Structure 1
């Protein structure tokens, strides 16, 4: 019983000893491993115009030669044509998409199971 209690306490102490950036990196690593049921909403003129479902992560693009970050992010997901938070039969194809730093978009976990 004591061993079961010691392991979580040791992990908690290790995690709390990390800087905020190290904690964020660790959290992202865990999410990359386990996956995220993410949603990306894209807005134009204050109106929802596109929604992507089952997005694991948004990746910042980097240049091939200079490895500098580019002003857009990319991911793969399913287009939610009717905005119902479900992948319907006519939405079964996973697509590549990009969002620029100049667009209004939100990335969040799907509120429906």
Structure 2
């Protein structure tokens, strides 16, 4: 019975569209939590870093439900860019445009 359930879940998952799989994956990741880092670049120079981010979300319109051109989240503003939360570095809300050059990854 257990094997049958696993097979059915796997078939259902692989039968979904790529977007549905991505949303499912984000749901699991959001539920388990992450230790994300967002780095914003100007050319090849690191200009901002946010650490200890739970998730990076896509903004959606309230009336048309269309995806907006930016991502947002909450994280610690790493003002000295050392990758560690300092005594004077606070948790902040941030937004990054889809036109920004940024990298988001999980801190190992």
* TM-score grouping bracket, smaller chain normalisation: 0.7 to 0.9
Gaps of 5+ in 1: none
Aligned equivalent of 2:88, options 79, 87, 90: 90
How far apart are residue 7 of structure 1 and its match? 8.9
User: Residue in 2 aligned with 1:102?
Assistant: 99
Distance 1:14 1:94, change over 3 A: same
How far apart are residue 15 of structure 1 and its match? 4.4
User: Residue in 1 aligned with 2:62?
Assistant: 64
Alignment partners' CA distance in 2, 1:7 and 1:40? 41
Alignment partners' CA distance in 1, 2:59 and 2:16? 27
SS in 2 for 1:67: coil
How far apart are residue 94 of structure 1 and its match? 1.0
Alignment partners' CA distance in 2, 1:20 and 1:68? 18
TM-score normalised by the chain length of structure 2: 0.80
Distance 1:86 1:70, change over 3 A: same
Pairwise CA RMSD: 2.3
Distance 1:86 1:16, change over 3 A: same
How far apart are residue 28 of structure 1 and its match? 0.9
How far apart are residue 17 of structure 1 and its match? 5.2
SS in 2 for 1:76: strand
TM-score normalised by the chain length of structure 1: 0.77
Alignment partners' CA distance in 1, 2:31 and 2:94? 21
- Residue-by-residue CA offset, 1:48-82 (whole Å, 9 max, x unaligned): 00000011111111222222221111111001122
